[in-house]
């Protein structure tokens, strides 16, 4: 699970003015906006498992097209990288799923406190 934090200046309805905010994206999905002046936090609460599932299905469905494109663009690179990719894909998928479960567990632990 990839969590990206950005700082930007936005209008805060509690401060009634422009102030610095921290914006958090989880896997490119807007998750939380926090005002640095007043501390007000707005959590968007997307259904992260659903978002991740939709993205996985899209990746699976688009894979044949991406492989064909790669095959046509550079056959030698495609053939030379194929054995490594076939062997490493289960490990990469495992790491991605492990990151997702860790993030969901971390978020549920924060809610309990």
44 secondary structure, DSSP code: -
Q: CA 52 to CA 1: how far, in whole Å?
A: 9
Does residue 99 carry a pLDDT above 80?
Answer: no
pLDDT in tens, 26-37: 877 788 899 988
Task: Give the pLDDT of residue 7.
Answer: 92
What phi and psi values does residue 51 have, to the nearest 5 degrees? -60, -45
**Mean pLDDT of the chain, nearest integer:** 82
Among left, alpha and beta (phi > 0; psi -120 to 50; other), residue 37 is: alpha
pLDDT in tens, 29-65: 788 899 988 888 887 776 766 777 777 778 888 888 9
- State mean pLDDT over 63-88: 88
């Amino acid at each position: 699970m990839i969590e990206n934090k950005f700082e930007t200046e936005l209008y805060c309805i509690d401060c009634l003015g422009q102030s610095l905010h921290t914006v958090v994206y989880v896997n490119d999905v807007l998750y939380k906006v926090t005002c640095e002046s007043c501390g007000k936090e707005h959590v968007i609460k997307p259904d992260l498992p659903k978002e991740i599932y939709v993205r996985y299905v899209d990746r699976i469905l688009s894979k044949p097209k991406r492989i064909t494109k790669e095959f046509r663009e550079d056959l030698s690179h495609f053939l030379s990288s194929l054995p490594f990719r076939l062997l490493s894909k289960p490990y990469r998928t495992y790491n991605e799923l492990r990151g997702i479960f860790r993030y969901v567990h971390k978020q549920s632990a924060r809610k309990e406190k």
